[in-house]
Amino acid sequence: MPPALDRIRVGSAPDSWGVWFPDDPRQVPWDRFLDEVAEAGYEWIELGPYGYLPTDPARLTDEVGRRGLRVSAGTIFCGLHRGPTEWDATREQVGRVAALTRAMGAKHLVVIPSFWRDDRTAEILEPPELTGEQWSHLTTGMERLGREVKEGYGLDIVVHPHADTHIDTEEHVERFLDATDSDLVNLCLDTGHYAYCGGDSVKLIETYGERIGYLHLKQVDPEILADVRAQGVPFGPAVQRGVMCEPPSGVPELGPVLTAAQELGVELFAIVEQDMYPCEPDRPLPIAVRTRRFLRSCGA
């Protein structure tokens, strides 16, 4: 029997049901997501894109509570590398999402850097590499965001390295961590995105363990990934090709990742995400059930 991972709190998210946007006809309705995530055996969920789930705290509290669910985090996107001009738009978004996250009793705000190419059209929006000045804007902006979110809402921000953003590869992730204050900014390690960009999740946990504040569990199909890299395929179309796959058929192995996280000696959320936008509405639930069974076999 694997060791009990008693510090790991497993959940899932709208992303595992093919939800990327607040409203999209190709996505399952929010009430079906809540019904099915509970049926699959999960207790914790994320809010997903703001506006997908009900945004009235009383209504959402009732909807998740009667299904035996609880909320672990909200999510925002921001482009703080662009400098002070980006701050007002970021603050407005944060205010909405952080208030709902706090009202739901969650303690984390997952922060995803803005994409340098469009995730729907693959249009190049910005250079994939930041200048030194932009790196400075990014790190100081994230620290400011962390301070304001902590002081204003009692939440901790966890920054999510993501394909087709400026925090993606091992080099970029380590540069970001080395330049930010651990009291204000920590990491949401997404095992799939990190592998997609060539990183080793276990190594990162062992090297920067004190900065790992949250996990997203995800795997990539190595054969599809090799083709995607060779052809320079953007992330959105890569997902449509099935680059993010059902555990345990991909990489990284999640058992060693969870064991390394357990050994940090702190409680961590490990939220399952399998990017598969768009997908047939009947596809997510069976995958979610099998994935939950697999994680139990790992001790989670």
Residue 147 is predicted with a pLDDT of 98
CB of 278 within 8 A of CB of 26? yes
| 57, pLDDT greater than 70 | yes
Structure confidence at residue 141 as a pLDDT band (50, 70, 90): very high
- 278 or 2, higher pLDDT: 278
**Quick one: what percent of the chain has pLDDT higher than 90?**
94
Cα-Cα-Cα-Cα dihedral sign, residues 138, 143, 144, 148 = positive
| 239, pLDDT greater than 70 | yes
> What's the chain's length in residues?
300
CB of 238 within 8 A of CB of 224? yes
Q: Are strands 212-217 and 268-272 parallel, antiparallel or unpaired?
A: parallel
User: DSSP 3-state helix, strand, coil percentages of the chain (rounded to 5)?
Assistant: 45, 15, 40
The CA distance from 269 to 188, in Å, is 10
Return the DSSP state at 23: S
As a whole number of Å, the end-to-end CA separation of the chain is: 12
The CA distance from 111 to 78, in Å, is 7
CB of 265 within 8 A of CB of 6? no
Tell me the three-class secondary structure of 75-138, residue by residue: EEEECHHHCHHHHHHHHHHHHHHHHHHHHCCCCEEEEEECECECCCCCCECCCCCCCHHHHHHH
Structure confidence at residue 245 as a pLDDT band (50, 70, 90): very high
Residue 122 is predicted with a pLDDT of 78
Residue 1 is predicted with a pLDDT of 60
Model confidence pLDDT, tens digit, residues 149-194: 999 999 999 999 999 999 999 999 999 999 999 999 999 999 999 9
The pLDDT of 77-96, averaged and rounded, is: 93
Model confidence pLDDT, tens digit, residues 254-299: 999 999 999 999 999 999 999 999 999 999 999 999 999 999 999 9
Residue 170 is predicted with a pLDDT of 98
CB of 190 within 8 A of CB of 218? yes
Q: Determine the Cα angle at 202 with ends 76 and 261, to 5°.
A: 70
Model confidence pLDDT, tens digit, residues 35-56: 999 999 999 999 999 999 999 9
The pLDDT of 28-35, averaged and rounded, is: 98
- Please list, in sequence order, all residues whose beta carbon lies within 8 angstroms of the beta carbon of residue 266, skipping any fewer than 6 positions away: 7
| 3, pLDDT greater than 90 | no
| 219, pLDDT greater than 70 | yes
